[in-house]
């Protein structure tokens, strides 16, 4: 009587094992498919923010794309705030200043619950923006944003826009002002090679802008200058300086 019982148990275990082996790949595929679907949904939500809100000015979709407790760690402009109304305020401010505003997503990366975008913002400065009167100038600037997605909507944002280039294109600041500041910290011997390099950079920018009007942000970076002067045996007496790039 014991032998048939043993065979029965063994047969049972074999059947269960076979079923598990067959089910496991299905479980794995389902998990992968669910993850892919989540990634696609997160990408779609962020894409819609640019295409259906910023690029059109239509705010009706904001309530379905932005969380009620949305936090903007880097709001645009003075008085910027978080929350759905804060997001709408940002859209209104940008589209008021640049009525033909358009964002182009150059690159998008999804990692977990974060979506990272590299964008190009274009528009014509036709109304007041950050206390700058309209200049009717075309602007093209780059930006980077990190969005945290929760339950299919944007819950947090960290971002930066190339504000210096924006101000330069609106003719608000001298493109070389920061370099003039650096010159003031150098002695006469240190200034000469820097001035020569600045002149070449400025001429290159003028040539490109004259040719196709695309913005050029290639400037002499502070770290490059420090390496150059250190290699020449000189010294840069600058503790901290905010430079573009």
Say whether both 152 and 195 belong to one domain: no
Residue 98: which of 90, 109, 106 has the closest Cα? 90
Q: What is the pLDDT of residue 100?
A: 96
Q: How confident is the model at residue 191 (pLDDT cuts 50, 70, 90)?
A: low
Range of the domain at 42: 33-163
Same domain, 88 and 158: yes
Number of compact structural domains in the chain:
2
Separation between Cα atoms, residue 179 and residue 222, nearest integer Å:
9
- E strands, 73-189, are 102-111, 114-124, 138-150, 153-161
Q: Does residue 171 form part of some domain?
A: no
User: 21 in a domain, yes or no?
Assistant: no
What's the confidence (pLDDT) of residue 165?
85
What gap in Å lies between CA 75 and CA 83, rounded to an integer?
Answer: 11
What average pLDDT does the chain have? 74
Instruction: Indicate the residue among 163, 185, 219 that finishes a domain.
Output: 163
pTM above 0.95, yes or no: no
Chosen domain end from 110, 141, 163 = 163
* Residues 142, 82 within the same domain: yes
Residues 68 and 144 in one domain: yes
Q: How much is the pLDDT for 8?
A: 67
> Does 44 reside within a domain?
yes
Task: Tell how far CA 151 is from the center of its chain.
Answer: 22
Summarised one tens digit per residue, pLDDT across range 93-140 is 999 999 999 999 999 999 999 999 999 999 999 998 877 889 999 999
Task: Establish if 2 belongs to a structural domain.
Answer: no
% of the chain exceeding 70 in pLDDT: 55
Q: Do 209 and 107 fall within a single domain?
A: no
Closest to 117 in 3D by CA, of 159, 75, 170, 149: 159
């Amino acid at each position: 009587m014991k032998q048939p019982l043993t065979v029965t148990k063994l047969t049972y275990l074999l059947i269960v094992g076979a079923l598990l082996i067959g089910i496991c790949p299905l479980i794995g595929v389902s998990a992968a498919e669910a993850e892919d679907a989540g990634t696609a949904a997160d990408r779609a939500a962020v894409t819609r923010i640019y295409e259906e809100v910023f690029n059109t000015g239509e705010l009706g979709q904001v309530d379905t794309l932005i969380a009620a407790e949305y936090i903007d760690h880097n709001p645009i402009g003075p008085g910027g705030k978080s929350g759905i109304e804060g997001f709408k305020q940002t859209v209104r401010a940008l589209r008021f200043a640049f009525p033909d505003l358009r964002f182009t997503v150059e690159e998008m990366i999804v990692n977990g619950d974060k979506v990272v975008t590299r964008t190009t913002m274009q528009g014509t400065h036709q109304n007041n923006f950050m206390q700058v009167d309209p200049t009717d100038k075309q602007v093209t600037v780059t930006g980077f944003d990190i969005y945290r997605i929760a339950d299919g909507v944007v819950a947090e944002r960290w971002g930066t826009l190339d504000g210096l280039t924006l101000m330069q294109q609106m003719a608000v600041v001298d493109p070389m002002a920061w370099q003039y500041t650096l010159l003031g910290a150098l002695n006469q011997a240190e200034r000469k090679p820097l001035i020569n390099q600045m002149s070449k950079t400025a001429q290159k920018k003028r040539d490109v802008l004259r040719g196709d009007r695309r913005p050029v942000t290639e400037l002499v970076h502070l770290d490059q200058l420090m390496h150059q002067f250190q290699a020449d045996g000189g010294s840069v007496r600058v503790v901290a300086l905010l430079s573009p790039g």
